[in-house]
Structure 1
Amino acid sequence: MAGNGRSPGASVASRVLALLGAFDGEHRSMTLTVLAKRADLPLATAFRLVNELVEWGALTRRTTGEYVVGRRLWDLGLLSPVQSGLRQVASPFLHDLYGATLATVHLAVRDGTSALYVDRLAGHVSVPVVSDVGSRLPLYATGVGKVLLAHAPDDVRAWVFTNLNRITPYTITQPGRLRAELRRVLRDGFAQTSEEMSLGACSVAVPIRVAGGPVVAALGMVVPSLGRSRPRLVAALQVAAQGIGRSLPLGESD
């Protein structure tokens, strides 16, 4: 059924999805006016649909008048194979890594041209970490992202190579340098970053495969510096990644 928004042919479902899609890592809380603008909907249409989403539990209205994602969407998200399968299987391995290193540990999958963080354990050492569960970060500036990018289809890599934005002074923005780095990832079996996403934070990551098949996820750590500890961290990550891969059922990457 079509509504009466700016796009005459847009269905009610597409408008609801536009409202939900307006939320991202930088827009976790929005007024109705901002939400309508980001969803490209008339204010009256957004008001009506947002009220229905609040009633259903997909959105929550704060006392300040801003809207945030509601608990019911979170509950639905937990039913996703990424959450219920990969995250559940990987959880004990992440806790083992955290216990052995006290470092921040990440589990991520590729979502289009971004790294989607599906689990995270915060380390004891104070390190600037911008990721959180559910956040999406650039593939080219994170350890887990470089692993996923190295194993991504050609069209994904081509898009990334033409959209390299500087995040810190150390972010790799030259396509040639990034291509060389990805070749090293494939050759050595791990990726690393040095203050490329956050100043004062370095990372190292390895791929997770199911039964020797394609890469389905990446496992990484964030530490203040790598130095001589890199071989030890890589070895610990690889053991955990192999354990996760062996524990995942075939088809879990679907």
Structure 2
Amino acid sequence: MSSYVDEDVALPNSVLGKAQLLLAAFESGAVRLRLSELSRRSGVPKASAYRLAQELAQWGLLDRHEETYQLGMRLFQLGQRVPASAVLRSVARPLLTDLFARTRATIHLAVLDGTHVLFLEKIAGEASVHTHSHVGGRLPASCTATGKLLLALAPDGQQNAALLAHGAGLPGLTDRSVRSEDTLKRQLIAVQRQRFAHEVGEVRAGYASLAVPVPDPDGTVRAALSATAPVSEVSVERLLPLLRMTAAGVTRGLADQAAPPVR
């Protein structure tokens, strides 16, 4: 696995920049990292990584367990206070839970984070756990239904798609993941027209996902809602109306939250 820092990008000189790289080393989904792996993934020299990791642990941003480090509870507490995601999650979660109860599919709420999707929420039963995703985790936008949808509807989506393909090409999670920039662009045009995205086997073999936009009350699309299940259980005709109904409910809930209180 490559380090978090690209080889042609200079290491930040500031302490804050290096601390950010240490925290970002966990973005690949690793739960615990030894100091040597933390240094390799972040690009921060081992001696500096050790000093900074000790300070981050004192602040509660990292936790140390014997010879390994993991993200600290303080990060979770602060993350819950980010206004945009906190309101969106609080409004969406009951509706996502109802959608899971009706479909028994794994339900995701995601936003675009550069060339990746960031999962804000996940509702899944024991039998339908989608192992590649977790709350706070990221996946390449080109592979996921939520990512394709958000790329298609974002003003700079085509630019982000080009960035994804820069260098070694589009990242692939399975042999069905789209690997051609031209193919991805054609898919995004279709998604933009139909306002839903459907991927089959691109993230996990044997599984498919269907995603729809979750507009803000002003119509801006900043999040996507998806259902993931074995391929045989993902019916566009059955799931699409349920997803769109749930997304509309989230939008109404956001509007209610933004409305001034009645005196």
Query: Shared fold (TM-score greater than 0.5)?
Result: yes
Mapping for residues 120-135 of structure 1, pairs under 5 Å: 120-123=122-125, 125-126=127-128, 128-135=130-137
Correspondence for 1:206 among 207, 212, 231: 212
Secondary structure at the aligned position of 1:171 is classed as coil
Distance, in Å, in 1 between the alignment partners of 2:37 and 2:197 is 38
Distance, in Å, in 1 between the alignment partners of 2:235 and 2:248 is 20
Correspondence for 2:107 among 85, 105, 108: 105
Mapping for residues 62-73 of structure 1, pairs under 5 Å: 62-63=65-66, 65-73=67-75
What's the offset of the Cα at 1:161? Answer: 4.3
Aligned-pair identity (%):
38
CA RMSD of aligned residues (A): 2.4
Residue 87 and residue 15 in structure 1: after superposition, are their counterparts in 2 closer, same or farther (change >3 A)?
A: same
What's the offset of the Cα at 1:202? Answer: 0.5
Secondary structure at the aligned position of 1:166 is classed as coil
What's the offset of the Cα at 1:8? Answer: 10
Q: Is the 8 A contact 2:11 2:18 kept in 1?
A: no
TM-score with structure 1 length normalisation?
0.87
TM-score with structure 2 length normalisation?
0.85
- Segments of structure 2 that go 5 or more residues without pairing to the other structure are 1-9, 259-263
Correspondence for 1:181 among 172, 184, 187: 187
The answer to whether 1:143 aligns with 2:145 is yes
Out of 33-42 and 142-151, give the one that drifted further: 33-42
Secondary structure at the aligned position of 1:90 is classed as helix
Distance, in Å, in 2 between the alignment partners of 1:48 and 1:166 is 36
Mapping for residues 51-130 of structure 1, pairs under 5 Å: 51-63=54-66, 65-123=67-125, 125-126=127-128, 128-130=130-132
For 1:239, the aligned partner's letter is M
Question: Residue in 1 aligned with 2:172?
Answer: 166
Q: How many residues align?
A: 245
In the TM superposition, what whole-angstrom CA distance separates every residue of 1:9-67 from its partner, at most 9, and x where no partner exists? 8222222222222221243311112222333333332222211211221111113x100
Deviation >3 Å, runs of 4+: 123-129, 249-252
Distance, in Å, in 1 between the alignment partners of 2:126 and 2:117 is 24
Q: Is the 8 A contact 2:164 2:170 kept in 1?
A: yes
What's the offset of the Cα at 1:198? Answer: 0.5
For 2:82, the aligned partner's letter is S
